[in-house]
């Protein structure tokens, strides 16, 4: 019998996993899996458990927010043989699931986790950490990990927007030296994101056009220090996809980059606090993990399809 590890965070989103747990487990059993269930107990619990026991499973399915799936993929990256991963989103925003076309309804997502097409996706390295869709610093980035879970549960995605508006009154800049593709940029920046996603903060298109999740490249966006409110409005309009060009925005694609600063810079990695290093090496692990997707059987041109075995 095929063995599955189902690991979930009972506190993600509004705790809807509790209402759907029986139906989810029933689906797994119907598809012939022997299921071991692990409820996360504390931060980094999912990562530690998978590092120790993940090798014993044919498939791992996780349910939670972006922080939960980050822990899971971080643990899986330590395994010599990586099982196929299924994901049941349960957070407030769930940016990663958008690009994978995983339904918001948990029971539907559970079906995708066992019968969806496994596709290969790139994983990011951030010094000794990993990320599945974004590493970011500066304006708004602390909202995801500073907003209380109770507020997220009550207001959902609106909680991020409301908290983000408060940050407009205190914009801090960082002087950075950024090396990539044989080039060097040195300037003052208020925001930066390194992404492999079609959605960030619930906004589609903010990472650019023609996003490819398995091409070995990240989409990078850096925003220079804003001189006045009008310039800030232009930048924000550009980011949400209105195609208004601004000299304050630097964007490029790369598989590897180095960021140096004379002061500590706080980062958010997949929505969680990622530390405040001065020097950072970011690299792309191309097609590192197979994740079941809701994409049609023929598969998109930008994702490699693996046959189920």
Catalytic residues: 272
Q: Which residues contact 128 (CB under 8 A, 6 or more apart)?
A: none
Residue 35 and residue 61 in contact, taking contact as beta carbons nearer than 8 Å: no
Kindly tell me the burial class for residue 110, based on how many C-beta atoms sit within 10 Å of its own C-beta (0-12, 13-18, 19 or more): buried
CA separation for the pair 78, 65 (Å, rounded): 21
Residue 124 and residue 285 in contact, taking contact as beta carbons nearer than 8 Å: yes
């Amino acid at each position: 019998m095929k063995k599955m590890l189902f690991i979930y965070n009972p506190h993600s989103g509004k705790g809807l996993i509790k209402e759907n747990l029986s139906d989810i487990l029933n689906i797994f059993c119907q598809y012939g899996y022997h299921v071991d269930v692990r409820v996360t107990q504390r931060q980094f619990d999912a990562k530690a458990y998978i590092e120790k026991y993940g090798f014993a499973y044919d498939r791992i399915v996780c349910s939670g927010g972006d922080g939960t799936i980050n822990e899971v993929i971080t643990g899986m990256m330590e395994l010599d043989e990586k099982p196929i991963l299924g994901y049941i989103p349960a957070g407030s925003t769930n940016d990663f699931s958008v690009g994978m076309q995983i339904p918001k309804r948990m029971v539907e997502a559970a079906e995708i986790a066992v019968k969806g097409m496994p596709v290969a996706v790139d994983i990011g390295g951030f010094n000794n950490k990993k990320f599945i869709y974004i590493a970011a610093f500066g304006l708004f980035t602390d909202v995801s990990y500073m907003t209380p879970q109770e507020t997220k549960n009550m207001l959902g995605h609106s909680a991020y927007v409301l908290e983000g508006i408060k940050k407009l009154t205190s914009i801090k800049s960082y002087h950075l030296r950024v090396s990539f593709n044989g080039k060097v940029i040195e300037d003052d920046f208020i925001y930066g994101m390194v992404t492999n996603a079609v959605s960030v903060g619930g906004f589609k298109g903010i990472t650019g056009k023609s996003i490819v999740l398995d091409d070995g490249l990240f989409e990078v966006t850096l925003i220079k220090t804003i001189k006045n409110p009008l310039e800030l409005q232009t930048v924000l309009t550009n980011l949400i996809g209105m195609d208004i060009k601004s000299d304050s925005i630097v964007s490029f694609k790369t598989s590897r980059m180095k960021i140096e600063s004379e002061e500590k810079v706080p980062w958010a990695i997949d929505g969680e606090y990622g530390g405040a290093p001065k020097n950072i090496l970011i690299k792309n692990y191309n097609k590192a993990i197979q994740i079941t997707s809701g994409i049609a059987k023929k598969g998109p041109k930008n994702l490699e399809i693996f046959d189920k075995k």
